[in-house]
Amino acid sequence: MIANKTALITGGGTGIGRAIALRLAKEKVNIALNYSRSEEDAEAAQKEIQALGVECRIYKADVASDVQVRNMINEVVRDFGALDILVNNAGTTHFVDHSDLEGMREEYWDNIFAVNVKGLFFCCRAAASELKKTNGVIVNITSIAGLSGLGSSIAYSASKAAAISITKSLARVLAPEVRVIGVAPGIVLTRWVEGQEEHIERLAGSTPLKRVAVPEDVAEVVYGVIAHAGFVTGQNIVVDGGAFI
């Protein structure tokens, strides 16, 4: 049972993070919602979550800042009394064709790795001691880009490969009290892919299930590994409709 537990979801105001928050809230999980820029979206998500009868608070923090992350974790524990679930969903990218080596600028590398790799690790590290107290769960939203080497840019793919590696390392380090699992979506219909309809249609046609994912597809898997997969840790579960087989 996960009812009455507390989950912190980074990048939780929109897209996949919001869908995860709503799915867990339906199971009566209290939600700590992190955002960095999308305050209006986070406030709207907060109201929708609260309408499901659970507590929801929002926290502004840049996950690429270790200080801000530690402060956020302290505030969540102060406000909710404990932390049981951490979903590292916050992420960023820059769209650069893989063949455009010069276009993959140094600042893009730094920005992508600061959020997708350092930010993920900072959140796990800051939350580790609290999650050990509650025999908690960490779910890292990775990507099939980290397996295939494809994706929005070379740096993004590399950052998600690093996230998968960190998931495995932390699954060993934090065991047996804390499980750490990766969930790797393929392309998902969110703001990230707006304006790429031709690309989406082509990918959907090449997928055995003949569609691409919606955020709720990913959220359902995240809920499943948290609530019903107590003997799973260190794995990276692909959610791509068969595109990667």
Which residues are known to be catalytic?
A: 156
CA-CA distance, 20 to 9, in Å (whole number)?
A: 8
List the one residue out of 140, 222, 223, 224 whose CA is nearest residue 174. 140
Pair 36, 114: CB distance under 8 Å: no
* Nearest alpha-carbon partner for 56 in 38, 29, 35: 29
Coil, helix or strand at residue 192: helix
21 CB burial (10 A radius; 0-12, 13-18, 19+) = buried
For helices 106-113 and 154-173, give the axis angle rounded to 10 degrees.
30
- The Cα 57–Cα 54 span in angstroms is 10
Residue 50's alpha-carbon distances to 37, 42, 56, 184, in angstroms, are: 21, 12, 6, 28
3-state SS track over 42-111:
HHHHHHHHHCCCCCEEEEECCCCCHHHHHHHHHHHHHHHCCCCEEEECCCCCCCCCCCCCCCCCHHHHHH
The type of residue at 121 is F
